[in-house]
Structure formats: structure tokens, C-alpha cells
Amino acid sequence: MNVSELRLRFANALARIRATKPLVHHITNYVVMNDTANVTLHVGALPVMAHTTEEAAEMTGLAGALVLNIGTLSPAWVDAMLLAGRRANESGIPVVLDPVGAGATAYRTETCLRLLGGLRVAVIRGNSGEIGTLSGAGGVVRGVESVEGVANPAAAAGVLAHRYNTVTVITGQRDIVTDGGRVLVVDNGHEWLTTITGSGCMATALVAAFAAVEPDFLVAAAGALAAYGLAAELAAREARGPASFRTALLDRIYSLTPEQVAEGARVERLRQP
Amino acid sequence: MNVSELRLRFANALARIRATKPLVHHITNYVVMNDTANVTLHVGALPVMAHTTEEAAEMTGLAGALVLNIGTLSPAWVDAMLLAGRRANESGIPVVLDPVGAGATAYRTETCLRLLGGLRVAVIRGNSGEIGTLSGAGGVVRGVESVEGVANPAAAAGVLAHRYNTVTVITGQRDIVTDGGRVLVVDNGHEWLTTITGSGCMATALVAAFAAVEPDFLVAAAGALAAYGLAAELAAREARGPASFRTALLDRIYSLTPEQVAEGARVERLRQP
Amino acid sequence: MNVSELRLRFANALARIRATKPLVHHITNYVVMNDTANVTLHVGALPVMAHTTEEAAEMTGLAGALVLNIGTLSPAWVDAMLLAGRRANESGIPVVLDPVGAGATAYRTETCLRLLGGLRVAVIRGNSGEIGTLSGAGGVVRGVESVEGVANPAAAAGVLAHRYNTVTVITGQRDIVTDGGRVLVVDNGHEWLTTITGSGCMATALVAAFAAVEPDFLVAAAGALAAYGLAAELAAREARGPASFRTALLDRIYSLTPEQVAEGARVERLRQP
């Protein structure tokens, strides 16, 4: 696939989300639930949050994708994540993992490794410190922020992608997306994204919506990040600060057209050594 | 009551909320807590969230209305809902139920039926799929969205209203409000409401605020929906997308006057066969 | 310290937050989590939420300050608060307590007294009713609102400050900050703050960020309130209602400069009898 083909795939995926309105089941953190529900709705999918073992697996069975986000974790939620994840795996529903704060505490790191070990994860999306921690390449996470990235993000992502047979995404100034073989770089985005909480979680929610309609998860993840970054670029024009940026970001995700994605996606393939 | 009288009752209810600032106790879902707290505050009431069995009933005892919203349920929260609901029933405090996602999973449907069976519910407000499911009239819910409504919403609502002796509300393009005998239709609203998460939950929060001051719950529910829809119509003029619409919606709920409600409420009585 | 010196200390504290990006660990309520995370980020610190006993203490060990906010309490969260608070005490990390709704239910009042009794609390910030309740001076809390303040706020705050050796803050039209000896009054702020949920919780979050960099907690608390109030004054110019005010408030916290604080802080020392 060359860049033109990729852009077209991204645009088609967005169009397909709008046409089919896939249900995206989120087991996610309290801080960002409202934002990620809205982002899911604005891009054209249907969000639902259901976190108790009494219904998590049943809800997943109805969904087109499952988000597992460990931002505010507790043991009961991990149980629900495992149940929902297994149901997703049985039914061929893609699981998208957001390892919020992996590396900051042992509990977060261990939970991520447990989820990665026990489930087939379609895509894992984190910052440089989180993915660095999980890959063993290093990186330092303070709270939920990457305060020290890895020297070679593509290599760290590749290690994780190989080990768990999962598309691995490191978002940052340049977003890296790899399945262990192919490596895509997405350059859409805006620095305002670093000023709001949950910007990574919203990216993950969009990756899930795209993965619900695009079976090549490398393409799905890169397409979601291009769309998100593009909306951020448009939103930046309306921003008077981080909160008005966030409002504009959500507005622009809603109004983003497949045509804008086809024209504005800045993606390239990285040559591997 | 004719339409002019209804509009006046709606306006008076809003004025009474502003004058008496009733406490509205919400046991509700994580996704919308911030929005529903703000909507309660902006309309003139006082919101409080308290979900643990250690204090739920005591908090309800201080309140003018109780919201039970099952959007992100777990067994401990259901226990608190039942305790709080019983206290509300003992003290004559109206209980307003939002059956978010009833029909999507067995747990949600069963919990709603358990709450309806164990408590006197003043008003139940849902979408067409949720009320259709609970009434047995059909309807399909995917996640929390009604993807297939019932053929005759007023009839489905009437069945539920009769069975549980509760005012039943189906919100949609036209809002149906019935106590099993009288049927009101409210035509205020705007399609932007369908683009944001929690728009139904916010409607429920307003119904509770109105029910705290208006003992005819049919009038309370219809008045809340007229006020909400009117605020949405005003907000639509400021919207550049769903998020700026939401900001404007909250702003306009705050600034809405009883006079605007008396003039702008679009309500009619439906003749029953 | 005279007023000019205080203003300079406030400005320096803000500059130090921006320079050192302290981690602020919040164990807080569901309603305001998104707002308090954003406020923490916008002022220049790093927020993290972690509420389970499996990781709460470990996360606190990495932090520059710990917020304990009882707005939506349950026993498991109280356990985590105590564990995290003890770790904070062992490591000299300031603990900032927000007694949301103390006085409304026995559970909230008792939990606050338990936290105050079991932990060294650097700053407690509440409204007049909450602090009045905890000090024994009276005051009435309905839900989370102070519906009847105490006759002499500075005296009530002083009692609590003495009893628990903690800086005590009552926010209101005039903010009172006392360590039992010194009393500061901060007059920044805007009445729009009373129209949004979580405005007190956001103040508490900022107090924690300031306490992470300013070891005189009286100065830290007063500085945070001056900065917050100043941002509110600036935001009021952009407000068309409470929700657009909130957006502007967050925007202005982000853009607030140490120079603006040095010039705009309205603080004075109250002469004690």
C-alpha cells in the first residue's frame, strides 16, 4: 500500500463508521468517560460503558470493538475486562488496550501484562513511556505522563508488536504504528492535544471505532490517528485555551468528512532497517 | 387542563425550582454525572451524588427528588438504589427512573424491572427502545441507543404507565408523556440533542427537579421536557458542533425564564382512542 | 509578610509549578474528576487519579501532593484514602482534604473526622457549612451546598486549624485562610463560580498543586485561591452562561502568568483580636 492508497483506506473507514454505526464497548477510566463517549458518538459510532461482570461480556458480544483502558483501575474492573476480552476474542471482536500509567505503579504494569498475556489484543496504544515500560525498552512514566520516552520508539513498539502479535501505537509528536513488520508514521496533530487530559484516551476510542470497520488494524489505527490529528489541527484555529480547544476538537471530529481525511492525512511508511 | 394552562404550570414550576432550590439526589452513571449535576444546578435546584449504602438513604431523606439512572450499573449500586428508593417512598419523595440501555443486556432489563417492582416510581423516562423493551411492546436497544422503536409509542408508554402506576415518558423527535390516562406530547427540542452523550440523562435530571416542586408528575415531566427542548432550540443558534451545542445548552438552561417557557412550550394533549 | 511579599510568593509558586510539574495524586469524586484533572494540568502540574488500595499508596509516593475529596464516597475509597494519606505523611507529601458535603450525612461527617484524626492534613478546604460542621461552630449543608454559614467564619476556621494543626480554608465571597494564628483573606473570584458544579473541588486541586511547591501551606492555599479567583475574573468577561464560563475559566487558568498573579492578587492579613 502506498500513501495514496492508505489515505483512501482511512477515508473509507470513516465513511463506513458513519454508515454502519458500530457499537463500541468501553471499560474505561472515570476521568475521561464523558469525553470518550462523546468522541465515539461524534465520529459516527455508538458508545456504551458497562463495567460489571454481570453484564460486561454480554455487552461486548453486541459490540464491534472493545476498549480496555486502565486509567482508574480496581480488581473488580480487571475481572470485567478479562471476561469481556475473552468474549471479544471468541467472537472475533477487536480489543483495543490503553495502558494508562503503565510504568507508574506495579499494579498498572502487571495488569497490562496480564491483559496482554490473557487476551488477543488487536491494538495497544500508549505514550512513549508506557510502551517503553511494557516492551522493556525503558521510559519513565510519572502518573500518566511519559516524562522520559524511549530512544527508539519504533523499535520499542516493534518489540511489543512481535511479542504479543498486536498492532502497537506510540502517540506523540509523531505517531508510530506498527504490527512488527510494517511501520507507519502519522504526523497529524497539534500541540494543544498535550494540554488536555484524556487526549490519549480519546485517540484510543477512535482507534476502536476504526478497528470495528477496518480489519487491517494497522490501517485502522493509523486512520484513526490521522482523523483525530486532523480534527485537532482544525480545532486549533478556534482555540483560546485548552478547554475551548477541547470543545472545538469534539466539534471538528463530528464534522470531519472522509474527503478531508483523504486530503489531509499525513502518513508515511517507515523503511525498516 | 388546556394548553395555555399547561404552559403556565410549566412556567410556575420553573419559577418554584428557582425559588425553593430543591435538593435532587442522583444515583446515576459515571459518564454523565458532571453534566447532570450541572443541569440540575443551572435549572435552579441543588444536585448531590451519593451512591453508597452507608449514606444513600440518609441523603435521599433530605432531598426533594431522587434520580435512579442505571447507565453504569453494578450490584452495590443497585442495593443503594433500592435503599434510597424505599426511603423516598416512605417520605413521599418522587423517584425518577432512567432505564439506560434496558433491553441491551439481561442485567439492565432485570434491574429495571426489579426497581419498578420494588419501588413506587413517579416517572420513568427512556427512549423508544428502552420503554418498548420494558413494556413488552418490542423495540431494539444497541448499547444505550434505540435502534428500533416501537410502532405505537403512546400505547407502549401507556402499558408501562398502567402496569406500574407511573408516569411514563418516551423522548424522541416528539416526546410522549402519559400517566396511562392522559397523554401529552411535547414538540420542543432540536436534533443536536441526538449528537451528544447524556442528553437523555439530562432530560431525566430536569424531570426530577420539576417533580420536586410539581406534584402532578405528568405536568412535571412535560414541563421539564418543554424547558429542556426550548433551551436546546435556543442553544442550536450558537452551536458549531455537538460540543459547542452542549456548552450553549447548559448556558441556556441557566438563563431560561418562566416567561420563555410560558411562551415557547409546544405541548398538546393527545386524544386517546 | 506584607501584602506585596505575599503576592510575590504567590507568583513564584505558580512559576515553580510550571517549572517543576509536580505530580498531584487525586482520590476524588466521580462528578468532578475530569475538571480537576484538567485544572491540575492547566496550572502546570501533572494529575493522576488512582483509587484502589492495590496502588493508591504507591502512586502517592511518587507525588508532590495528595488530594482527598469525599464527594462520592464508599468504604473501599476511604480505605485507599487512609493508605495513601499515611504514605503521604511518612514521606512529607502534603495532604489536602476537601470535605464535600460534610454535615449533610453522618457518613460524610464521620469520614472527615476519621481522616482528620488519622492523618496529618496540610490544608482542609470547604465551604462555610462544611467547615462550620467540622469545627462544631454550626452551619447547615444541604447536599453539598452550604445553605447556612457560620456567624464568624474566621473563628470557625481557626478552631479547626488549631484542633488538627492544619491550614483551614473557607471559600465563599471572601476566602478565609488560616493556620490558627495568621489569617489571610482573598477577595479574588467571581459569582459565576457559584453556578457550576465542582468549583470548590477545582479550588482544592489548585491548593494541592501550590502546596506541592510552597512549603508554607497558608501561603500555598491563599496563592492558589488568588490565582483561581483571578482566572475566574478574567473568564467572566467571556461567559455567556455557566458552561461557557467554565470553558473560559479553564482556558484562563492555563494562560495565567505569574505577573498577572503578582499584580492581580487581592489578599490581606486579618488582624486577630
Q: Which of A33, A55, A252 sits opposite B241 (nearest CB)?
A: A252
CA distance C264 to C260: 6
* Per-residue pLDDT at A271: 76
> In the prediction, which pLDDT does B107 show?
97
Q: Report chain B residues whose CB lies below 8 A from the CB of C198.
A: 34, 37
- Mean pLDDT, to the nearest integer, of B147-173? 93
- Chain C contact set for B50 (CB, 8 A): 72-73, 101, 105
Instruction: Supply A73's cell numbers.
Output: 483501575
Contact across the interface for B58 and C101, Cβ inside 8 Å: no
* Beta carbons of C72 and B59 less than 8 Å apart: no
* Angle, helices C217-236/C199-211, rounded to nearest 10 degrees: 140
Residue A105 lies in a domain: yes
Asked whether residue B271 is domain-assigned, the answer is: no
Chain C positions touching B46 (Cβ under 8 A) are 142-145
The answer to whether the beta carbons of residues B66 and B96 sit under 8 Å apart is yes
Contact (CB<8Å) C41/A108: no
Chain C hits for B255, Cβ within 8 Å: 241
What are the helix (H) ranges across A237-269?
242-255, 258-264
B126, B170 Cβ separation under 8 angstroms: yes
Q: What is the pLDDT of residue C145?
A: 86
Report yes or no on B22 lying in a domain: yes
Q: What's the gap in Å between the CA of A172 and the closest CA on chain C?
A: 17
User: Chain C contacts of A145, Cβ < 8 Å?
Assistant: 46
- C131 to chain A, closest Cα gap in Å: 27
Measured between alpha carbons, how far is A214 from A6 in angstroms, rounded to an integer?
Answer: 12
d(CA B122, CA B168) in angstroms, rounded, equals 9
CA of C107 to nearest chain B CA: how many angstroms apart? Answer: 6
Say if B270 falls within a structural domain: no
Choose the mutation target among C32, C54, C257 for the interface with A, i.e. most A CBs under 10 Å.
C54
Mean pLDDT, residues C222-239 taken together: 98
Partners of residue A97 on adjacent β-strands: A68, A124
Three-class DSSP category at A55: coil
A96: nearest Cα among A233, A7, A200, A249: A200
Q: How far is B35 from chain A (nearest CA, A)?
A: 9
Q: Tell me, what's the pLDDT at A267?
A: 98
Q: How many interface pairs between B and C have CB atoms less than 8 angstroms apart?
A: 98
Q: How far apart are CA C124 and CA A231, in angstroms?
A: 41
Q: Which helix (H) or strand (E) holds A39?
A: helix A33-43
Torsion angle of C-alpha atoms B28, C206, C253, C196, degrees rounded to 10: 30
Average pLDDT over residues C208-224: 98
Close Cβ partners of B82 (under 8 Å, ≥ 6 residues apart): B114, B115, B118, B119
> Is the interface score ipTM higher than 0.90?
yes
Searching chain A, which residue's CA lies closest to the CA of residue C33? A31
Closest chain C residue to A32 measured between Cα atoms? C34
User: Residues 6 or more apart from B18 whose CB is under 8 A from it?
Assistant: B44
Cβ–Cβ gap A34/B241 under 8 Å: no
- Find the mean pLDDT for residues C135-154: 87
pLDDT value of residue C272: 61
* One-character DSSP codes across chain C: --HHHHHHHHHHHHHHHHHH--EEEEE--TTTHHHHHHHHHHHT-EEEE--STTTHHHHHHT-SEEEEE-TT--HHHHHHHHHHHHHHHHHT--EEEE-TTBTTBHHHHHHHHHHHHHS--SEEEE-HHHHHHHHTS--EEETTEEEE--S-HHHHHHHHHHHHT-EEEE-SSSEEEESSS-EEEE----GGGGGSTTHHHHHHHHHHHHHTT-S-HHHHHHHHHHHHHHHHHHHHTT-SSHHHHHHHHHHHHHH--HHHHHHH--EEEPPP-
Q: Exposed, middle or buried, B182 (CB in 10 Å: 0-12/13-18/19+)?
A: middle
What's the mean pLDDT when you consider all of chain B? 96
In a domain, C168, yes or no: yes
- At B67-99, the pLDDT tens digits run 999 999 999 999 999 999 999 999 999 999 999
CA distance C36 to C48: 10
Separation in Å, CA of B248 to nearest CA in chain C: 7
C246 is in an annotated binding site: no
Is A198 annotated in a binding site? The answer is: yes
Tell me which chain A residue has its CA closest to the CA of residue C244.
A244
What residue of A is the nearest CA neighbor of C250?
A: A243
Q: Residue C273 pLDDT more than 70?
A: no
- Residue holding cell 503521604? C88
DSSP three-state, residue A170: strand
C-alpha pair distances (Å), C233 with each of C103, C229, C237: 30, 6, 7
Q: How far is CA B40 from CA B36, B228, C107, C196, C207, in A?
A: 6, 11, 24, 10, 27
CA–CA min distance C239, chain B (Å) = 9
C-alpha cell at B106: 439481561
How close, in Å, is residue A249 to chain B by CA atoms?
A: 8
pLDDT at position C242 over 80: yes
Decide: residue B268, CB within 10 A, 0-12 exposed, 13-18 middle, 19+ buried. Answer: middle
pLDDT in tens, chain A (273 residues): 899 999 999 999 999 999 999 999 999 999 999 999 999 999 999 999 999 999 999 999 999 999 999 999 999 999 999 999 999 999 999 999 999 999 999 999 999 999 999 999 999 999 999 999 999 988 888 888 888 888 899 999 999 999 999 999 999 999 999 999 999 999 999 999 999 999 999 999 999 999 999 999 999 999 999 999 999 999 999 999 999 999 999 999 999 999 999 999 999 999 765
Least CB–CB distance from B252: residue in C71, C108, C241:
C241
**How confident is the model at residue B82, as a pLDDT?**
98
Distance from CA of B120 to the nearest CA of C (A): 23
Residue of B nearest to C239 (CA): B251
**What CATH number is attached to the domain comprising C24?**
3.40.1190.20
Helix (H) or strand (E) holding A67: strand A65-69
Question: How far from B246 is each of A32, A38, B43, B253, CA to CA, in Å?
Answer: 17, 11, 15, 11
Q: Which one of C37, C52, C250 has the shortest CB-CB distance to A243?
A: C250
Tell me whether residues B250 and C240 touch, CB distance under 8 A.
Answer: no
Q: Where are the alpha helices (DSSP H) in A56-198?
A: 56-61, 75-91, 106-118, 128-135, 153-164
**How many Å apart are CA C228 and CA C250, to the nearest integer?**
10
Q: How many domains are contained in chain C?
A: 1
The reply to whether residue B105 touches residue A59, judged by beta carbons under 8 angstroms, is yes
What DSSP state is assigned to residue A237? T
Nearest to C31 among B34, B238, B249 (CB): B34
Closest A-chain CA to C254: A241
The answer as to whether B41 is a domain residue is yes
pLDDT at A1: 81
Q: How close does chain B come to A62, measured CA to CA in Å?
A: 7
Record: contact C242-B41, CB cut-off 8 A: yes
- Paired sense of beta strands B65-69 and B95-98, if any: parallel
Residue C104 pLDDT greater than 70, yes or no: yes
The helix (H) or strand (E) run that includes residue A146 is strand A145-148
Chain A residues touching residue B240 (CB < 8 angstroms): 238, 248, 251
- Scan for cell 415557547, then name that residue: B264
Which structural domain range is residue B169 located in? 3-265
- DSSP 8-state class, residue A272: P
Q: Cβ separation of A107 and C55 shorter than 8 Å?
A: yes
In the predicted model, is pLDDT for residue B1 greater than 90?
no
- Please give the C-alpha separations between residue A41 and each of A14, A98, A251, in angstroms, as whole numbers: 13, 19, 11
Q: Each residue of B216-252: pLDDT tens digit?
A: 999 999 999 999 999 999 999 999 999 999 999 999 9
Q: What is the pLDDT of residue C144?
A: 87
Mutation target for B interface from C33, C69, C100, C105: give the one with most B CBs within 10 A: C105
Cα separation, C234 vs A272, whole angstroms: 51
3-state helix/strand/coil string of chain B: CCHHHHHHHHHHHHHHHHHHCCEEEEECCCCCHHHHHHHHHHHCCEEEECCCCCCHHHHHHCCCEEEEECCCCCHHHHHHHHHHHHHHHHHCCCEEEECCCECCEHHHHHHHHHHHHHCCCCEEEECHHHHHHHHCCCCEEECCEEEECCCCHHHHHHHHHHHHCCEEEECCCCEEEECCCCEEEECCCCHHHHHCCCHHHHHHHHHHHHHCCCCCHHHHHHHHHHHHHHHHHHHHCCCCCHHHHHHHHHHHHHHCCHHHHHHHCCEEECCCC
CB within 8 Å: C52 and A107: yes
Which DSSP category does A165 fall into? T
Written as nine digits, the cell of B154 is: 403512546
Query: How far apart are alpha carbons C35 and C44 in whole angstroms?
Result: 14
Against chain C, the chains showing at least 3 CB pairs within 8 Å are A, B
pLDDT of residue B273 exceeding 60, the answer is: no
State the DSSP H helix or E strand holding residue A24, giving kind and residue range, or none if neither: strand A23-27
CA gap A181, A165 in Å, rounded = 10
CB contact under 8 A, C196 and B38: yes
Task: Say if residues A49 and A33 touch (Cβ distance below 8 Å).
Answer: yes
Q: Is residue C174 in a domain? A: yes
Residues of A in contact with B143 (CB under 8 A): 23, 25, 46-48, 59, 62-63
C114 is in an annotated binding site: no
Beta bridge partners of B170: B126, B176
Among the partner-chain residues C33, C54, C252, the one whose CB lies closest to the CB of A241 is: C252
Per the CB < 8 Å rule, is B58 touching C243? no
DSSP state of A193: G
DSSP single-letter state for residue A123: E
Residue A86 lies in a domain: yes
d(C-alpha C267, C-alpha A40), whole Å: 45
Angle, helix A3-20 to helix A217-236, in steps of 10 degrees: 80
Q: Which of B33, B74, B81 to mutate to test the interface with A (most CBs of A within 10 A)?
A: B74
Closest alpha carbon within chain A to B197: A38
